[in-house]
Amino acid sequence: MKQVLEKYIPESAVEAVYELIKSNRVHFKIVNERVTRHGDYRKNSDGTHQITVNATLNKYRFLITTIHEIAHLVAFQKYGRQIKPHGLEWKHTFKMLMLPFINPAVFPMDVLPLLANHFKNPSASSDTDALLSMHLKKYDAPTDKVFVDELPLGSLFMIENGRIFKKGNLRVKLFACTDIKNNKVYLFKPNMQVKLLKN
């Protein structure tokens, strides 16, 4: 398991993550990318615990996702299964499990202050923290996609399902973009990755 983890997370985090997986008796699976989620935790009908994490994540996001999912298991065991999946108990558990990793031996210096800020009150997904998400995506493999935030005003872009939009103005924290087919306006997060089309 350690040798597998070495391919997916920062080297200095391998031993601690391996111990968390082992001590919690987790069946840990690395799976092909799922667009809707980075990882998943479930308790199987036989009482065993399974965590899956997307193989395509960069090593920093893979580490955060792994700890996120282990936090579900630990929180449910400590507080009972009636707690909210991303409620106060999970937030506290996630924060405590993540703290030892928030240091320059594990994460790049540009990410550390954003991580520290995020973990004051961690959300259900680091993707909801636009600034942190954009910094983490800098460490992804090269792609033809760009952030909505980076697009010129009025440019056309395509999302995952093939729909095409025209970028509009910023409304508070979201961009108002028009669907080319039906002329309806939809709001996009600045850190959503899309494909820029030539106008």
**CATH topology (fold) of 146-197:** SH3 type barrels. (2.30.30)
Would you state the pLDDT for residue 143? 78
Q: What is the reported pLDDT for 32?
A: 84
- Region at 183 (left for phi over 0; alpha for psi -120 to 50; beta for the rest): left
Banded model confidence at residue 199, pLDDT cuts 50, 70, 90 = low
30-86 pLDDT tens trace = 988 666 688 999 988 888 999 999 998 999 999 999 999 999 999 999 999 899 989
Q: Where in the chain are the domains?
A: 2-137, 146-197
The residue-averaged pLDDT of 174-199 equals: 91
- The reported pTM is 0.79
Say what the pLDDT of residue 137 is: 84
pLDDT digits (tens, 9 = 90+) for 119-142: 998 887 777 788 888 888 889 877
pLDDT on residue 135 = 87
- Residues 125-164 as b or e (16 or more Cβ within 10 Å = b): ebbebbebbbbbbeeeeeeebebbeebeeebbbebeeeeb
Split at pLDDT 50, 70, 90, the class of 28 is very high
Question: If you average pLDDT over every residue of the chain, what do you get?
Answer: 91
105 burial via Cβ count (<10 Å: 0-12, 13-18, 19+) = exposed
Mean pLDDT, rounded, for 19-23: 95
Measure the CA–CA gap between 148 and 195, rounded to whole angstroms: 9
Q: What is the pLDDT of residue 75?
A: 95
